[in-house]
Amino acid sequence: MATNKKNIKELPIITTTHGVGQKRILLNNQETSTPLTQIAVTRLKAGEAAAEHLHPTMEEFLLFQKGDASMTVGKEQITCDSGDFISIPANTLHSLKAITDIEIITIGCAIH
């Protein structure tokens, strides 16, 4: 596989699959032979929320870059801010609400 250099500022901004927030996809599963599904930088404005959902075939990892958010992972309530890393196992209900404007690096990894 060839080296693939991208600049985050030059990537298109798209709406997330949850219908809230925006993201720029750094890498998707068509660009790699690994179980990676996606690496993206996701932004939500204060008050936006991704409703409770789960991913049956994917683990999800979130690295908070900016802002404050509230998450529910399973039955656990979590407050997140810059520098926090959250690991969400496949098939785990979770939701996210931006308290302030937030920026998150999101990583999805397929399970087999």
- pLDDT tens profile 42-75: 999 999 999 999 999 999 999 999 999 999 999 9
Q: Are 80 and 71 in contact (CB under 8 A)?
A: yes
Query: Over pLDDT 70: what percentage of the chain?
Result: 97
Angstrom distance (rounded) from CA 36 to CA 57? 11
> Is 2's pLDDT higher than 60?
no
Q: What is the mean pLDDT of residues 76-86?
A: 95
Q: Are 8 and 26 in contact (CB under 8 A)?
A: yes
Q: Count of alpha carbons within 13 Å of 107, Cβ hemisphere only?
A: 11
> Is 1's pLDDT higher than 60?
no
Structure tokens at 84: 């926090």
Residue type, 108: G
User: Considering the entire predicted model, what is its pTM?
Assistant: 0.81
